[in-house]
């Protein structure tokens, strides 16, 4: 497993993390999958209070060290006291003394961002969280959130990003690269739609590229994000065998020519949406 730096923090995260959205259907198997990822060198696991998966993560990471755990506060809890209470509840559910990355899950225009960020900085000062991130924020929303911080910097923005959902390429990716804010890409496999018959030609192309590297089409599609630079994909970890395959998406790079050919194909067929 290779590692990349999170924002300006100097913290080294595995090139891919593990997402936990919609886990819970098979807890024992999902815990096994998360542990398989950890044993393979993944040190980054993402969850959220609204997912209801923090207790699963707690069981998976029990007794493990040197992990980077991220969770999110729901936008309905963005008032000052609510942020503090939500963090305490997440700490208890996760069974940890502090949260490595605490993220604002979605923007909430009904709550002043200054109030929310004041609470986030209180949590940093109290040692309950280490880093502040956002999720699903536009460039303007990121700028407003950063301006509201007095002593800390936003280190990441978690957004949906895949071969089929390329909206981050319409300005956000460039902004984050310039500001040294990491993009955390959720649903990097387009929620499984990359396997749909509608995209059979794309899958065939990825398969052909994969053969040159001894990789699967799934591994190529995740590596495409890694190869963009400043992007950490967090595919969902539900099955052990799937996680082991995902681990194979890290530790190598598509060539510039391969990236160019994939991007040209995507622009001519699926486009950004």
- Determine the Cα–Cα distance for residues 193 and 33; give it in Å rounded to an integer: 21
Write the DSSP symbol of residue 197. G
Q: Where does residue 197 rank: exposed (0-12), middle (13-18), buried (19+ CB within 10 A)?
A: exposed
User: What interhelical angle do 240-247 and 217-228 show, nearest 10?
Assistant: 50
Helical H runs in 44-125?
54-61, 80-94, 113-125
Q: Which position among 51, 102, 161, 199 bears the catalytic label?
A: 51
- Determine the Cα–Cα distance for residues 273 and 271; give it in Å rounded to an integer: 6
Query: Do residues 159 and 168 make contact, with C-beta atoms less than 8 angstroms apart?
Result: yes
CA atoms within 13 A on the CB side of 147: 8
- Determine the Cα–Cα distance for residues 202 and 265; give it in Å rounded to an integer: 8
User: Is 161 a known active-site residue?
Assistant: no
| Active-site residue list | 51
């Amino acid at each position: 497993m290779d590692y990349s730096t999170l924002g300006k923090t100097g913290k080294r995260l595995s090139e891919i993390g593990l997402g936990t959205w919609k886990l819970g259907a098979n807890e024992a198997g999902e815990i096994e999958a998360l542990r398989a990822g950890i044993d393979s060198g993944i040190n980054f696991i993402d969850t959220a209070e609204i997912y209801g998966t923090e207790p699963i993560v707690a069981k998976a990471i029990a007794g493990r060290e040197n992990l980077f755990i991220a969770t999110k506060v729901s936008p309905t809890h963005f008032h000052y006291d609510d942020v503090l209470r939500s963090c305490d509840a997440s700490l208890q559910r996760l069974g940890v003394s502090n949260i490595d990355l605490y993220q604002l899950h979605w923007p909430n225009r009904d709550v002043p961002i200054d109030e929310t960020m004041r609470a986030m900085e209180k949590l940093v000062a109290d040692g309950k969280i280490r880093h502040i991130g956002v999720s699903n924020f536009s460039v303007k929303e990121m700028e407003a959130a950063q301006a509201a911080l007095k002593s800390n910097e936003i280190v990441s923005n978690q957004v949906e990003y895949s071969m089929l959902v390329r909206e981050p390429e319409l300005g956000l990716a460039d902004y984050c690269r310039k500001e040294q804010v990491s993009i955390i890409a959720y649903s990097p496999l387009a929620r499984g739609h990359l396997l749909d018959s509608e995209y059979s030609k794309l899958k065939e192309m990825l398969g052909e590229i994969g053969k040159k590297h001894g990789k699967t089409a799934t591994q190529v599609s995740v590596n495409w994000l890694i190869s963009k630079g400043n992007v950490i994909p967090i595919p969902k970890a539900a099955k052990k065998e799937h996680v082991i395959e995902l681990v194979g998406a890290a530790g190598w790079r598509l060539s510039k020519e391969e990236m160019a050919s994939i991007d040209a194909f995507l622009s001519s067929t699926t486009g950004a949406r």
